[in-house]
Each structure stands twice: as structure tokens, then as C-alpha cells.
Structure 1
Amino acid sequence: MTGEIAPLFVRWSLPHWAALGIVALAAGGILWGCRRLRMESRLLVGKVLGSFFLLTFLMETFGRIVREHWEPWQDRLPLHFCSLMALVCFIALWFRTPWACAVAYFGVLTASVQGLITPMLHDGFPSAAFFVFFIGHGLLLISALYLPAVLQWRARPWDDMRALGL
């Protein structure tokens, strides 16, 4: 595609609904399939998923610094909520620490899901930004649900308030 401009993203359009449907089907399929595995295999799948988050977090952070050198320094910081959730999901899936599991679960289900429903995208389907956004946010949702549904993590009393405080 030389010189072509990607169409603008339109919320609640057919591509948006299709992306949400694909995320829902993928989440259901992955969670259902992984629940049928032995715990050792479940842990391994979780670590592979967590490794993906660490890799994307590092690529996004360094990529933003390299690509967007003309923007103010505040825009180059990796302080986007979903970027931080990717890092927390890595910690939760690799180390299964209670605080990381709670923050990943409650953080993703409150904010990253909202991003799927009401994305702030400029370019629509079939742009790379469209695919990166829905794949990344869809995997965050899968990870948040993977913790209780597959790895059998359970929230402790006040975990929701601790996650909110953090």
C-alpha cells in the first residue's frame, strides 16, 4: 500500500463488532481449552502468554522512544494504563504473586475492557493499528480471566480495594 490512507475507525461499526466477537470467541476457546490441560501445561501456557506481554511492553516502550522523538517527553513515558497492565500481567502469569494477580484481574476487567468497548483509535480496519489494538487488549482480557478460570487464583478480601489503591 503506497500512499493509501487507512479508513477512520468508527465505533460500533461492523469491523468493531467483528473484532469484539473474535476476541470473545478467542477468549472462550483458549480458556475452555486450557482448563482441560494438566496444571503443569496450564502454567506453561500462562508463562508463554506472560512472555508475550513482557516482549510487547519492551517493544512498545523503546519503539515509542525511537519513533516519537519529536513529541514531548511526557508522551514517551510508558504510563498508558494498558501498557502497565501488560507488565502486571507478565508478573502475575510468571510469578503468580497475589498482588499482581489482583491488580491484573481488577485492572484489566475495569479499564482495559472499557478500551475494547470504546477504543480511542484513529485508523480503522484494515490498518496495523487496528489489529495491534484489538489483539493486545484482547490478550489482556484473556490473561485476566486466565488467572481465576485456568490457574485457579482467587481474590482475597479487599484485593479489589488494594488494586484500586495501587
Structure 2
Amino acid sequence: MLRINKIQFLIGALALLVGGLLYLVDRPPNYTYFINNLVNVSFHGDTPRIFGSLGNTLPAYLHVFSFILITGALVSDKKRDYIIVCLGWCFLDCAFEVGQAFHAWSLRITPEWFSGIPFLENTQNYFLLGTFDFFDLAAIALGTVTAYLLLMITNKEKGG
């Protein structure tokens, strides 16, 4: 029976909500998929930037951090599995970040069938309009390490 680690899941979900708040307040809505296509609400320009310059890199940190915790909470309580989850999300986030630097190549390898699937349909725009940033890569690495440490601290099965 699957045992969900509620602490890990809740921390991951909370981090994801903070990321959503950042996009609602600090980012222009026309560059944000879920604001344009799902919620159609934005406070950008109506309020001061809550996160300041940290808001430029914080999404990269929060994305990898939150999804590692949510995935780790759902799939396992073993150290080896946590490492696989962390490396998988780190690789995926880094690949998307680097893909922004080489958008022509990234666009060539993006499957056409992505265009009909929610969230994936935005992949081409992500590569075409996104901006590569070394600080985002550093934030992804930091998010991966802190998520792994938090997985280990909140692990119910300490022996794994």
C-alpha cells in the first residue's frame, strides 16, 4: 500500500503555491501559461513586486523544490529512490533552462503532438520566448539539494 508522506507533500504544495503567487504578482501575465490559459487573473502592475529581484530566480528554485517533494512524498521513502527523484527533476529543469539558450535546436526536437496537450502545448513558446540564465541553473541546483535534505529529514523510514 502506498504511504504518502503528508509533511513532504504539504511542504511541496505550499512551495508550489508560493510560486503561483509570484507569477500572479511579479510576472507579466502574457508570459505565463497558467495565468493566460487557466486562471486569467493577474495583479502584475497593480501591486509592488513582492519578491523584488529574488523573483527573477525564485521560480526556478521553487519549481524543482516543490516537484521533488511532491514526487518524493508519493513514490517512496527510500534514500535511493529520493536520489532518483531529485536527479530526474534536476535534469528535467536544467534541460528546459539550457533549452532556452539553444531555442532553435530545442524547437526542432519538441514533438508536434505536444501542441494538443495542456501544459505541454506551451513548450515551444517556453523555448522561443524564455531567457537562459545561469542564476536559474544555480537555483535549480540549490532547490534540488534542499529538497533532498528535506526529504531525508522528513523521511518516516530512516533506514531506507
TM-score, normalised via structure 2 length: 0.32
Give the number of the structure with larger relative contact order, counting CA–CA contacts within 8 Å between residues 6 or more apart. Answer: 1
